[in-house]
Amino acid sequence: MYKKQAPRLINMLLLVPILAIAQPANEPPNPIRTALETLPSACAVPLANDPVARQQLTELYHRHQFTPLWRSYAQLDALQEQLQALVDDGLNPAIYHPDAIRRAVQTSTTNPLHRACADILATASYLTALRHLAYGRLPQDRLEPVWRSPGAAAPQPLDDPLLQIADEGLAQLEHAFNKARPSLEQYHNLRKAHARLRAEPPSQWLPIPPGETLRVGMSDPRVTPLRLRLASDGYLLNAPAQGSIDTRFSQEVEQALKAFQRQHGLQPDGVLGLETLGALNVTSSQRLNQLKINLERFRWLSRDIEPRSLLVDIAGGRVIYFRDNRPQWEARGQVGRDTRQTPAIKSNVTRLTLNPTWTVPPTILREDKLPRIREDLNYLAEQNMHVLDYQGNVLDPAQIDWSNPGNILLRQAAGPHNPLGRLVIRFANPFSIFLHDTPSQGLFARSQRAFSSGCVRVESVMQLANLLLTEPERERFNRLLATGRTHEFGLAQPTPVLLGYWTAEANSAGQAHYRPDIYHRDTPLLAALQDADRHDLLRRTTLKESKRH
């Protein structure tokens, strides 16, 4: 019985905001109230079939007794200016219909409903733009979901609810749009980078053809387009003369190529290989799209970065400690390779493991360890590994059928060869993911550091531990660490941690720094954003056509 009635009850609840605006019988008809009651048939407003957006629209007008919100051309000019500025947030201004708003207002007749619809269209676009800035153009959970610990704080709310921002911002629209945007410095830097790249003239260089790997001292016809490409972005100061066919891969070209590689997250070896060639042939339009999708990721995740928190930048291979909303400490990290990706997580660091043992995860046991043990049983002793059953009892390796070992565990004792090093930083998650020390220190020098099986290896991890500890905890931590024995160390003050994925960032001057898309997530996200834009523009056209008929 309840299940049959539930859909009807939900529909009734969604209608509450609409029914609440019904006009008393003794009042003359109010055009805006009448239009809102009969959306979408009354007006071609794109969000008319979105119950949440429609409720916000109704509530904003309710606060103003259903009077028009857009009272002058100056106010509409300011709205149009802010909508056009969304281009550098990576949003398409056309989906907010600035031209249609202007046209509707300018061509509105004396018909009160016609004028009401023009006002409602402007308000609907205004609210939609603020919502996209605050929460993202698309729902994150559908595209790049984050696992959130039940004990982790929900994304920080806006200082004011979005409707309050919209209401107060009617008198100062720039203030409203700025307040809805993420306040994170990284977002605003990336926005500057988008504006800077968009203002540059179209690229004049031609793609560099594929071929053999090139390095300093070689001559090859492809060096000519390489020199032109590096000169076009300012990496090569002495630009080749018009018509130049210099084919020498000189030291000057090598240094320029290294600068390009550093800026694009590539190993700065000054060698033109396949990966560097691919990055050189990316057009400015494609780079704008890369900035666009990373602006969307920051809109999704910026409110998850708490004033004091730990951020793992997966694609960038970095670990950053924030205090008072600003980066205070940063180190290189090694993250999961493509076949064993580091997941996006929001949780709390609650404990440390000092001098950890390492229990080999099932996938690594099956794919990495068993083949080595089958080749040479001495591998276990060399790696200081013990075999245990699921009850923790130590087993004799010689008595196990390694072609079919059954339910066993491999555990490596604490020590210099332990892959977890001397410290593990733990937080709740269902993936057995944590941050840890590593004996593989040489890999931190690589520009791309996707080497692990999913966990995050942290350079200078003891410095990070010091930031996570309170002053009274530090003496005890150092004393227990020095024993060389395994200890679990609960933290007096948990630290929020976010593992997120970005393939571009920028400095305060708007100079972009790009990273390879190690998990191949950029293309599907860009496609989803473009599909959403096409859908919204088509829906607006369909609404207009349906009203004509």
For every residue of 218-236, DSSP letters joined together read -B-TTHHHHHHHHHHTTSS
Give the list of residues 6+ apart from residue 518 with CB closer than 8 angstroms, or none.
314, 315, 335, 338, 448, 450
CB-CB contact of 529 with 138 (8 Å): yes
Lowest mean pLDDT: which of 19-33, 262-276, 335-349, 460-474?
Answer: 19-33
- The confidence score (pLDDT) of residue 542 equals 57
- The confidence score (pLDDT) of residue 9 equals 34
Task: Tell me the domain boundaries of the chain.
Answer: 2-180+531-548, 358-413
Q: Measured between alpha carbons, how far is 254 from 257 in angstroms, rounded to an integer? A: 5
Angle at 503 between CA 537 and CA 131, to 5 degrees: 40
Task: Give the residue with greater pLDDT, 527 vs 415.
Answer: 527
Share of the chain above pLDDT 70, in %: 90
- The confidence score (pLDDT) of residue 431 equals 95
- The confidence score (pLDDT) of residue 474 equals 97
- When pLDDT is cut at 50, 70 and 90, the band that residue 15 belongs to is very low
Using the predicted structure, report yes or no on whether residue 210 has a pLDDT greater than 50.
yes
- When pLDDT is cut at 50, 70 and 90, the band that residue 13 belongs to is very low
- The confidence score (pLDDT) of residue 376 equals 93
**Residues 198-205: what's their mean pLDDT?**
85
* DSSP tag of 47: G
- When pLDDT is cut at 50, 70 and 90, the band that residue 14 belongs to is very low
Task: Give the residue with greater pLDDT, 462 vs 45.
Answer: 462
- The confidence score (pLDDT) of residue 410 equals 94
* Distances 543 to 109, 162, 284, 548 between C-alpha atoms, Å: 20, 27, 35, 9
Using the predicted structure, report yes or no on whether residue 102 has a pLDDT greater than 90.
no
Share of the chain above pLDDT 90, in %: 72
Using the predicted structure, report yes or no on whether residue 152 has a pLDDT greater than 90.
no
Lowest mean pLDDT: which of 47-51, 203-207, 493-497?
Answer: 47-51
**Residues 297-314: what's their mean pLDDT?**
95
Lowest mean pLDDT: which of 38-52, 265-279, 485-499, 533-547?
Answer: 533-547
- The confidence score (pLDDT) of residue 7 equals 41
Using the predicted structure, report yes or no on whether residue 540 has a pLDDT greater than 90.
no
Q: Measured between alpha carbons, how far is 295 from 89 in angstroms, rounded to an integer? A: 6
For tokens 């300018």, what's the residue?
106
Task: Give the residue with greater pLDDT, 465 vs 50.
Answer: 465
- When pLDDT is cut at 50, 70 and 90, the band that residue 538 belongs to is confident
- The confidence score (pLDDT) of residue 464 equals 98
In angstroms, how far apart are the furthest CA atoms of the chain?
94
- The confidence score (pLDDT) of residue 112 equals 81
Q: Across the chain, what does the average pLDDT equal?
A: 89
Using the predicted structure, report yes or no on whether residue 237 has a pLDDT greater than 90.
no
Using the predicted structure, report yes or no on whether residue 50 has a pLDDT greater than 90.
no
Look up the pTM and report it: 0.87
Question: 357 in helix, strand or coil?
Answer: coil
Using the predicted structure, report yes or no on whether residue 310 has a pLDDT greater than 60.
yes
Lowest mean pLDDT: which of 60-74, 142-156, 263-277?
Answer: 142-156
- The confidence score (pLDDT) of residue 156 equals 72
